[in-house]
A and B are shown apart, each in its own frame.
Chain A
Amino acid sequence: MNRSLESSPQAFSTDPWKTRIDRVFARALLIPLAMAIGLLALLLGDTVYRSFSVQVVRADEGPGKTYPFGLSANEILRQELLARGYTEEEVRFSLQDPTERRVLLLQNRVELMWSTQDGPFRYVVTGLRDERVADFSLAEGLRRWNELKANLKEGERLVLNPWLDQSFLTRTPSRSPLTAGIGVAIWGTAWVLSLALLIAIPVGIGTAILLEEYLREGTLNRILEVNLRNLAGVPSIVYGLLGLALFVREFGLGPSILAAALTLGLLGIPVIVVTSREALRAVPESLRQAAFALGATRRQVVFRVVVPAALPGMVTGVILSAARLIGEAAPLLLVGAAAYVPFFPNGPMSEYTVVPVQIYLWVSMNIPEFSRVAAAGILVMLAMLSGLYLMALYLRNRFRREW
């Protein structure tokens, strides 16, 4: 007692060692943060850097021959093949048989693309050719710019090529990196994702409401709880196998958008159920009590009070699961996202490819410039994901509730 009174001025002084340890500890916590930010910045910077290059291209070959709008693709193919010396009979055979026609396109003996330079009202047909003469990384190209410029041959020009430009977003895939675009893949992603969400949102939110509001205490609820959490953690390729066996083969949907949407829908359901349940659980019990005490039936309590209060959380959950589905490549490779789709998808049964699959295929191509195309594709993918996350963030803040 006495001693503590004597030392009382010191009782409030700080222990220098404790302060020092505290400070070191707080600083040490910054290291992993700095590492994470640094790595991400490096990754993003590298991708952006790779999406630019300096190229020597041969200008004289041009974009190919243009045909007036309204001419059918078959007619253009026919004329083009005839011009290249195929006989009338061969051409007719090739065009009648869909597999043959596809092979023609695949082998790039004839490539059809929407024109990007000559306006949207013409088809441009290009033959197989490689415009590239040389391709340099940004640093090397800029350093040697003058030297390269001096050494250009007749008909060649030196360009700084930003691979991610406006037309990249609308072009179809191609054998030539210069004309390859991500347009078809973006459309494919839009189709597959919207159909998948159309399946997953009602099923997922319905299940969540049923489990959380109607079967709260049941055994069924407990069994499903464990299973749903497990399902949410199953590797996505397993869903791909299921989709292949069930939708592609058993139901005979083939490699179509619908089969992919069903597979991704299944993949999205557990995530949506889990996040929606958490949103519903966050609604205070006192609100339900208040509604019941006013004489609301359970249906009125759920749909007039609980669901509106939980909606922001549910919407955020759906968007985050959509962000996960956008990035899935593995299950779609199994259910038949095609390597080369030269046409925009026009319905749930058409062939498709999606952005991550397209990137994967570009990365595995053996023409070096495709790594630049892939980098541009990755940037597009990142922009789509960031857009979704920003949307989730906005909605969360917009509807923030204090209880």
Chain B
Amino acid sequence: MSLELLKDHETVRSAPVSEAEALVDVRRLNLWYGKKQALYDISVRFPRNQITAIIGPSGCGKSTLLRSLNRMNDLIPGVRVEGEVLYEGVNIYDPRVDPVAVRRQIGMVFQKPNPFPKTIFENVAFGLRLMGVKGSELEDRVVEALKRAALWNEVQDRFKKESGLRLSGGQQQRLCIARAIAVEPPLLLMDEPTSALDPIATQAIEDLIAELKRRYTVVIVTHNMQQAARISDRTLFMHLGVLVEEGPTEIIFTKPKHPYTEAYITGRFG
């Protein structure tokens, strides 16, 4: 499974997404960490109000691709990007675009729950405060986000006093989701959101993600193929920084076209 074999690989596509359906349109994206290239010529469209899963073995560039959708990679010194990422038709790598404004539009949930050492209320209010929301509107939207993240019932009697760090791991992750969706981002990026959680908490988060699909477009990176199969509408399979195959989830998991995809799905490498 060497890089040489994939070098000029043309992504195998089943049921491609039309330009009109796409919220995000990645065009010939190349990315380097210093001298090392991490993404090779990625072109893919993420459809609106659907869940797209990115799978692939460790180090294949899943997270890198995800983080280039909201320019989080800019924070790493020595990163160089070529190509375009069109979000609602606007190239977010255009020099006139402010990465801070991009990140306000796009929510992100991380692998490990990372609540701020503040109260539950302040955690959720953080993004809203950055946008200048104040007073009773702030409070309403915090409560709304907690409800939508299915955390409200558990914390409603203490959310203004208790620190976010006092919650359990699964609750912390739902708090992080509430924090991300409080600002109503059209696009929600999730970087292995359940890999640090136990099966029951994972189940709760997966239910939540399926629920979120109605309002948001979700891109989720996952290590867990069953999870991708369970919750996603489309799946991307990446290997060594190359997008090998993409298509509707049932096709990727039942009739993969590329031999690498098949090998990975059937567990022959990974």
Residues of chain A touching chain B, judged by Cβ–Cβ distance below 8 Å, are 217, 284, 286-287, 289-297, 300, 304-305, 308-309, 401-403
CB-defined interface of B172-203 with A at 8 Å, one 1/0 digit per residue? 00001001100100000000000000000000
A290 touches B103 (CB 8 A): no
A295 to B72 CA separation, bound complex (whole angstroms)? 10
B116 touches A287 (CB 8 A): yes
- The yes or no answer to B224 lying at the interface (CB within 8 A) is no
Binds A, one of B5-13, B50-58, B107-115: B107-115
| Smallest CB separation, A53 vs chain B (Å) | 54
Interchain CB contact (< 8 A) of A305 among B108, B116, B180: B116
- Chain B residues, CB < 8 A from A286: 110, 112, 114
- Chain B residues, CB < 8 A from A401: 117, 165
Interchain CB contact (< 8 A) of B110 among A290, A297, A305, A403: A290
Give the residues from 117 to 166 in chain B that come closer than 8 angstroms, CB to CB, to chain A: 117-118, 126-127, 130-131, 165
**Given A292-B75, A293-B108, A295-B102, 8 other A-B contacts at CB below 8 A?**
A284-B114, A286-B114, A295-B104, A295-B105, A295-B127, A296-B130, A304-B126, A403-B165
- Chain B residues, CB < 8 A from A295: 100-105, 127, 130-131, 183
With A284-B114, A295-B104, A295-B130 in contact, do A290 and B77 touch (Cβ < 8 Å)? no
Interchain CB contact (< 8 A) of B183 among A290, A294, A304, A308: A294
- Chain A residues, CB < 8 A from B117: 287, 308-309, 401, 403
A289 to B66 CA separation, bound complex (whole angstroms)? 14
| Smallest CB separation, A373 vs chain B (Å) | 49
- Chain A residues, CB < 8 A from B118: 308
User: Which of A290, A296, A403 has most chain B Cβ within 10 Å?
Assistant: A290
- The yes or no answer to B261 lying at the interface (CB within 8 A) is no
> A-B contact count, CB below 8 Å?
65
- Chain A residues, CB < 8 A from B130: 294-296, 300
User: Which of B102, B108, B112 has most chain A Cβ within 10 Å?
Assistant: B108
B75 touches A294 (CB 8 A): no
B165 touches A291 (CB 8 A): no
- Chain B residues, CB < 8 A from A402: 165
A289 to B104 CA separation, bound complex (whole angstroms)? 13
| Smallest CB separation, A314 vs chain B (Å) | 14
A306 to B7 CA separation, bound complex (whole angstroms)? 42
| Smallest CB separation, A219 vs chain B (Å) | 13
Q: Which 4 A-B pairs have the closest CB atoms?
A: A295-B104, A293-B108, A286-B114, A294-B127
**Residue of B whose beta carbon sits closest to that of A295:** B104
User: Which of A286, A295, A308 has most chain B Cβ within 10 Å?
Assistant: A295
